[in-house]
Amino acid sequence: MIRLDGVGKDFGDFTAVRELSLEIPEGKTCVMVGPSGCGKTTTMRIVNRLIEPTRGTVYIDGEDYKKKKVEILRRDIGYVIQEVGLFPHRTIAENISTTPKLAGWDDKKIKKRVDELLDLVELDPDENRNKFPRQLSGGQRQRVGLARAMAADPPVMLMDEPFAAVDPITRENLQNMFLRLQRKMKKTIVFVTHDINEAIKMGDQIAILKQGELVQADTPEELLANPKNQFVADFIGVDRAIKILDLFSTDEVMWTEAPVIKKQSMQDEARKLIESGEKGIPVIVEDEQGKKFWFDLDELEKEGSLEDIIRPLEITLDPTNSIKLAMARMLEHNNDAVLIKGEEDEEPGILTLRGIRNYVYRICESSPGEKVGK
């Protein structure tokens, strides 16, 4: 666990970081975002003691970090620096083995670790270990930067814009690779980015900074639902409702108990549902071949004719897919509902456009004070 307690830094009369208090639980990722010059890199350098804070201190696992020897502290903290910063005249293997060498590992152990790390970041060890950084692409260099930071298996990682300066597809691949690794490694991570989308994707917690001050620190869900002020709202962007779509999976929003009725007898069964007082629910209809359709009970009450409102249910998604993917599929197919596979012997669910609309609206509506996107 890392705790920043009133940490600040002045450079002469200029205050780069005012007074930052922040707690990052063990095994979690805290993403710091904010405009250029707001003090993100300075904060990282303080945590790694590359610079001394003017005020406050950092606690690692409850202990004031100044009590630790700097070499020990740095061994326990992997640092991916902004713009990668590989040593240009050292090979990839030599770059990665920097910390293990300092820690006095023997050559055999180091060699094994280098290959293991190259594999981990999805670079072929035989092809890459003897190359120099200039012989790699930007994305490959970023992978090596990551491998170097992870070399001595530190419990804490500081990652300063680790996936910046590559094309969006490479960036997405790197993000996904890292998320897969982190699921197993469970390191405590401070991750810096300019990009709010990256923050939402990578962070368990997001800390928004402005001119050396912490404006809001919250989970991505909370931040999107309740931006504290206009600065945060602007930073999140006018498409906050769309970003929310990325955060929730279909099984969190779908109907799980939609009635399933037979197509042959659907008129009767629909009437029974209305008579039994059901309201505002989607109904799944199945024909003799197992083909599925659906309609909305409210709509039936208004329109009166089942033939006019029944529509095919032709898209099936997994419960782990995002509601954004569900929306995309609906738009592509001019549909307004998708079927969500049931896990094992569970009944399938149904996710409707109306359901998504209400869900997102409820989250956005709960925001106090200023409304976003005006």
Ligand X SMILES: Nc1ncnc2c1ncn2[C@@H]1O[C@H](COP(=O)(O)OP(=O)(O)OP(=O)(O)O)[C@@H](O)[C@H]1O
Q: Which chain residues interact with ligand X by CB under 6 A?
A: 11, 14, 16, 36-42, 82, 194
41 vs 321, beta carbon nearer Mg ion? 41
- DSSP 8-state class, residue 65: G
- Cα dihedral 328, 333, 336, 338 in deg (nearest 10): -70
Distance CA 83, CA 92 (A): 16
Closest CA to 301 of 328, 277, 336, 324: 277
Contact 353/362 with Cβ under 8 angstroms?
no
SS3 label, residue 15: strand
The reply on whether position 43 binds Mg ion by CB under 5 A is no
Which part of the chain contacts Mg ion (CB under 5 A), choosing from 74-82, 169-177, 244-252, 293-301?
74-82
116 vs 213, beta carbon nearer Mg ion? 213
Which part of the chain contacts Mg ion (CB under 5 A), choosing from 38-46, 209-217, 263-271, 280-288?
38-46
Q: What Cα–Cα distance (Å) separates residue 238 from each residue in 232, 235, 374? A: 11, 9, 8
Distance CA 35, CA 40 (A): 9
| Among 41, 48, 99, 250, contact with Mg ion (rule: CB under 5 A) | 41
Query: What's the closest the beta carbon of residue 216 comes to ligand X, in angstroms?
Result: 16
16, interface contact from Mg ion, ligand X, none, CB < 5-8 Å by kind: ligand X
9 vs 40, beta carbon nearer Mg ion? 40
326, interface contact from Mg ion, ligand X, none, CB < 5-8 Å by kind: none
37, interface contact from ligand X, Mg ion, none, CB < 5-8 Å by kind: ligand X
42, interface contact from ligand X, Mg ion, none, CB < 5-8 Å by kind: ligand X
Contact 40/213 with Cβ under 8 angstroms?
no
40 vs 187, beta carbon nearer Mg ion? 40
36 vs 276, beta carbon nearer ligand X? 36
Closest CA to 148 of 82, 193, 83, 81: 81
82 vs 170, beta carbon nearer ligand X? 82
36, interface contact from ligand X, Mg ion, none, CB < 5-8 Å by kind: ligand X
Residue 66 one-letter amino acid: K
Query: What's the closest the beta carbon of residue 186 comes to Mg ion, in angstroms?
Result: 26
Query: What's the closest the beta carbon of residue 145 comes to ligand X, in angstroms?
Result: 16
Strand order in the sheet with 316-317: 316-317, 337-340, 349-352
Query: What's the closest the beta carbon of residue 83 comes to ligand X, in angstroms?
Result: 9
Closest CA to 321 of 257, 252, 258: 252
Distance CA 136, CA 346 (A): 49
Do the strands 14-24 and 2-11 form a parallel or antiparallel pair, or are they unpaired? antiparallel
11 vs 87, beta carbon nearer ligand X? 11
143, interface contact from ligand X, Mg ion, none, CB < 5-8 Å by kind: none
Binding region for Mg ion (CB under 5 A): 40-41, 82
